[in-house]
């Protein structure tokens, strides 16, 4: 079975469309989304519609949750963007009332985590599936790493930091470029960050997603070019979406 894992789309329709085209060329059986469909980006409704249509399973992200409830720990830029996103989700110009209700219902029913045999799927971390960050430098916090791995039966897939790579129980973080964009699934427990479709932050501006191949027992990290300037122009055109949300797409930070 070949499963595509996408995460942190953040309303970036050009990036999501480019990733879906790449997925279509990769003999994928099913797509799983690890959350943050909305927030920051200019096309929350369109991205929700595509995720609802294409993904077999979707996990709740902290921005999806913030669209529904009061945001917790958001900086002013993220806060302004999520209030704008709420207004978009209620905007009658985005579709019939039925379509608007369907998006809200979908968001409000998303699970925070899901396990299927040896695989655990979360947005943040195995300890706090929605909000906790596992950054590359978290490997220096042995107690935190051990406590997270204690909650993983074998492999955990996650997003949230927008920094793809593999965390090992040896307390290493392996970036995709350092493992030729593929990593074998052995006996060791692993936490695998699948990267971000719509707002990469590892200084590679290309969209990122991951393929889990259970026949080859490997994960593959994919990078996909998309029309960044179109997304940036849409962000610049919305007063409530800070220009830096566009600028950062160019540098992948």
Q: Could you list the residues that contact Zn ion (CB under 5 A)? A: 8, 36
Q: CA 125 to CA 186: how far, in whole Å?
A: 21
Q: Which is nearer to Zn ion, 66 or 211 (CB)?
A: 66
Q: Which is nearer to Zn ion, 14 or 36 (CB)?
A: 36
Cβ at position 196, least distance to Zn ion in Å: 6
Q: Which is nearer to Zn ion, 35 or 126 (CB)?
A: 35
H-helix segments, the chain: 13-24, 44-54, 62-68, 76-90, 97-108, 142-149, 228-236, 243-251
Q: Which is nearer to Zn ion, 20 or 38 (CB)?
A: 38
Cβ at position 160, least distance to Zn ion in Å: 6
Cβ at position 162, least distance to Zn ion in Å: 6
Cβ at position 93, least distance to Zn ion in Å: 26
DSSP state of 179: G
Cβ at position 199, least distance to Zn ion in Å: 7
Q: Which is nearer to Zn ion, 36 or 242 (CB)?
A: 36
Helix (H) or strand (E) holding 223: strand 218-224
The answer to whether residues 115 and 94 touch, using CB atoms and an 8 Å cutoff, is: no
The answer to whether residues 134 and 124 touch, using CB atoms and an 8 Å cutoff, is: yes
Q: Decide: helix, strand or coil at residue 31.
A: strand
Q: Which residues contact 150 (CB under 8 A, 6 or more apart)?
A: none
Residue nearest to Zn ion (CB): 36
């Amino acid at each position: 079975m070949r499963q595509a894992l996408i995460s942190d789309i953040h309303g970036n329709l050009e990036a999501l469309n480019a990733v879906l085209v790449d997925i279509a060329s990769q003999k994928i059986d099913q797509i799983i989304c690890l959350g943050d469909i909305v927030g920051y980006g200019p096309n929350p409704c369109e991205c929700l519609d595509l995720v609802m249509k294409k993904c077999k399973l979707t996990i709740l992200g902290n921005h999806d949750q913030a669209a529904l409830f009061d945001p917790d720990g958001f900086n002013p830029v993220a806060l302004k963007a999520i209030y704008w996103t709420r207004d978009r989700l209620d905007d009658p110009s985005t579709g019939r009332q039925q379509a608007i209700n369907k998006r809200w219902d979908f968001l409000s029913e998303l699970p925070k985590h899901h396990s299927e045999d040896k695989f655990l799927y979360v947005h943040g971390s195995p300890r706090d599936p929605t909000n906790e960050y596992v950054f590359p430098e978290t490997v220096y916090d042995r107690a935190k790493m051990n406590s997270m791995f204690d909650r993983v039966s074998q492999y955990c897939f996650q997003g949230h930091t927008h920094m793809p790579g593999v965390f090992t129980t040896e307390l290493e973080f392996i970036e995709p470029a350092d493992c030729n964009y593929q990593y074998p699934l052995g006996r060791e427990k692993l936490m695998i960050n699948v990267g971000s479709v719509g707002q990469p932050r590892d200084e590679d501006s290309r969209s990122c997603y991951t393929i889990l191949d259970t026949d080859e027992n490997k994960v593959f990290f994919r990078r996909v070019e998309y029309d960044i300037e179109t997304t940036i122009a849409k962000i610049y055109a919305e007063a409530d979406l800070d220009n830096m949300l566009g600028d950062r797409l160019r540098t992948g930070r």
